Chains A and B, each alone.
Chain A
Amino acid sequence: MSAVFVRLWNAVILAFTAIAGAKVRTVLTVLGILIGVAAVVIVTALGTGVQERITAQIKSLGSNVIYIFPQANQSSGARGVRGAGRLTEADGKAILREAISVGSIVPSLQAQAQLVLGDKNVATIVVGTVRGYLEVRGFTIAAGSNFTETDERVKAKVCLLGNTVKQNLFGHEDPVGQIVRIGRYPFRVVGLLAIKGQTPSGDDQDDRVVIPAGTFRSRVLPTAPGRVHLLMASATHARTVSRATAQIEAILRQRHHIGPERESDFGIRTQAEFLRTQEEILSTLRALLVGIALVSLGVGGIGVMNIMLVSVTERTREIGIRMAIGARQGDVRVQFLVEAVTLCFLGGVVGTLLGLGVIYGLSRALGWSMLLSPLALAVALATSFACGIFFGSWPAHRAAQLDPIDALRHE
């Protein structure tokens, strides 16, 4: 066994000697592999970075949120008119009571409105809802506090400001306790929402004002009592979202007396659907980039094979000498295989370093976090190793098949 090890180790030393003896050629040879591996590394890290970013954005919409909205079916005439469907707070209460996979549910009414403070005035979205809205949508209070149950019951004119609205009206001033006008009515600012950023589709989630639903119906947009534009439910867990969706659908169809053949008069959308679409796009993109990287690796590998074939021809006499003094076919094969693998692996290591450098630069420039997982690193290096084996086999075979007499005669 130790004799085998000695011969293998010797092949490694031999490979390094041969590579060190032709530096320029080595660099040119491994360039293809180097670029291929660097591309694989960058693409993988970029993919992971984009994925993390999308996941974070989707999380920012609220965890496990299910949107329920009125949707005119074929038989009802008032198609496409918001609020024309029959979705009420009572529906929400029934869902919360009966659907075991639903953790919480809040109503939502929305309207575009003017906010006025002194001589400043901005157009924004006013949301009428209940206190639980913040939790379901994943908002937190940055200053002040949420409105109270009493505020809801007495339809108090209180509001929570999103950060964008606050910036536009108050600048750096503290808005809590100040009075702003929404439409014709003065509202007291009781709280400031913490910054949440954009949705994956680019909407500014901080450009909004949140008020109690009752206040909304009487002061912002006259609406029948109990009627809502939207119900937002959150599932008890990410795994129970689809179960919760099914439960909601069954409960609402029953409450709305919709027969089995008829279409629902409401629609349901979940974050999961949104997530799936994003991931499909992402994986397609990634497959494309990985494909390009693999083509680059293949071209690089062919370059290595070409140089190895040249090397075998150049060193025919050396091979003959080695065979004459006792090298077996396996010895010669291993020698050239190890050389090819060493070349490719060297390219792989340098390519990985180059890729890491580019990732570092990109993540600093774009402000994204792009981390290369140890697995991806191992895959990149293993790929370059496999490249060496694959593209080195044929030249190594050619070398091993040489006839010692012909090889010795070779000039």
Chain B
Amino acid sequence: METPLIELEHVDKDYDAGPVVVRALVDVSLRIARGEFVAVVGTSGSGKSTLMNIVGCLDRPTHGHYRLDRVEVGRRSGDARALVRNRMIGFVFQGYNLLARSSALENVELPLVYRGVTRRERKQRAAGALREVGLENRQHHKPNQLSGGQQQRVAIARALVTAPPLLLADEPTGNLDTRTSFEVLSLLQRLNRDNGITIVLVTHEADIAACASRVITMRDGRILSDAESPARDAGQLLRDLVDGATFSDSA
């Protein structure tokens, strides 16, 4: 097997919650290869968000090792992890997390700002990323002028603009209706398939997880199961949904 992009070895994460210590992750070992589309599922409190924070270099494991692209990043300082996030990881959140006062283009530019890219190149690359998610005509709209699905696509463009090897999506469809959810998933699948970007997606919805080629189930801070599964095509699901709707409309 080639060297995995993500490699967790016996990772524990403990939180000091007053008198008791909460064990959010217990002895989690995990390998994810380049180009995989992995869904992490589990109920709330199962540790999937904690796993996401550690994989996303937002948090540090209490014990164990985390290697990203063969580099140990689990022990890095705050600024070093900020650098890793900027270079290696794109984030997509449930609540979109766009800057409300900035336009779509400015939002997408943001990661490049912290990379010190010049204004002109930033505009170019941000416009390119927006084109990739099909929002080339919405560059100067503020988030509140965009629909939920459009906002999430802006967030995906922001995650893509630095061309990172890894994209982390934390409940990306949580605020979206079924149809828009499939649209977003279809976009993620296309990026995974065409650009070879590795995607780790956290969700608690089974039909969303079904679109991934591998599903990791968490419970009580441990990995309960980790299985390959035939990925369902979100585009097809979307077409079925639209057909169904048309069907029932005409009925």
Contacts and interface: CB of A to CB of B under 8 A. Distances in A.
Interface of A: 2-4, 6-7, 10, 17, 21, 317-318, 320-331, 404-405, 408
Contacts of A405: 53, 58-59
A323 B87 CA distance: 13
A17 B142 CA distance: 14
Interface stretch (B75-83, B125-133, B184-192, B234-242): B75-83
Contact of B86 (A10, A320, A326, A404): A326
Given A321-B97, A405-B59, A2 B116 contact: yes
B59 A328 contact: no
Interface stretch (B106-114, B146-154, B195-203): B106-114
Contacts of A318: 99
A408 B170 CA distance: 12
A404 B79 contact: no
B116 A317 contact: no
Interface residues of B, number: 28
Contacts of A325: 85-86, 91, 110-111, 114, 158
B85 A326 contact: yes
A3 B116 contact: yes
A326 B115 contact: yes
B174 to A, nearest CB: 14
Given A327-B114, A328-B82, A331-B114, A21 B101 contact: yes
B82 A327 contact: yes
Nearest to B170: A408
Contacts of B99: 318, 321
Contacts of A7: 113-114, 116
B93 A408 contact: yes
B246 interface: no
Contacts of B114: 7, 322, 325-328, 331
7 contacts: A3-B117, A4-B116, A6-B118, A17-B101, A21-B101, A326-B162, A329-B79
Contacts of A330: 79
Contacts of B85: 324-326
Interface in B163-218: none
A384 to B, nearest CB: 26
Nearest to A4: B116
A326 B115 CA distance: 8
Determine which residue in B58, B82, B98 has the highest number of CB atoms from chain A within 10 A of its CB, and name it: B82
A251 to B, nearest CB: 79
Contacts of B82: 323, 326-329
Contacts of B86: 325-326
Per DSSP, chain A at the interface is helix
A6 B117 contact: yes
A329 B70 CA distance: 25
A32 to B, nearest CB: 26
Contacts of A329: 78-79, 82
A329 B80 CA distance: 10
Given A17-B101, A405-B53, A324 B116 contact: no
A229 to B, nearest CB: 82
B58 A10 contact: no
A320 B53 CA distance: 13
Nearest to A326: B86
Determine which residue in B59, B97, B162 has the highest number of CB atoms from chain A within 10 A of its CB, and name it: B97
Contact of B97 (A326, A331, A408): A408
B113 A10 contact: yes
Determine which residue in A7, A21, A322, A404 has the highest number of CB atoms from chain B within 10 A of its CB, and name it: A404
Nearest to A315: B99
A6 B79 contact: no
Interface in B51-91: 53, 56, 58-59, 78-79, 82-83, 85-87, 91
Given A317-B97, A318-B99, A405-B53, A326 B116 contact: no
Contacts of A21: 101
A324 B113 contact: no
A6 B97 contact: no
Contacts of A322: 110, 114
A322 B85 CA distance: 11
A321 B113 CA distance: 13
Contacts of A328: 78-79, 82-83, 114
Contact of A6 (B58, B113, B162): B113
B77 to A, nearest CB: 9
Nearest to A325: B111
A324 B83 CA distance: 10
Contacts of B59: 405
Given A324-B56, A327-B82, 15 more contacts: A2-B118, A3-B115, A6-B113, A6-B116, A321-B97, A321-B98, A324-B58, A325-B114, A326-B85, A326-B86, A326-B87, A328-B114, A329-B78, A405-B53, A408-B58
B28 to A, nearest CB: 18
Contacts of A327: 82, 114
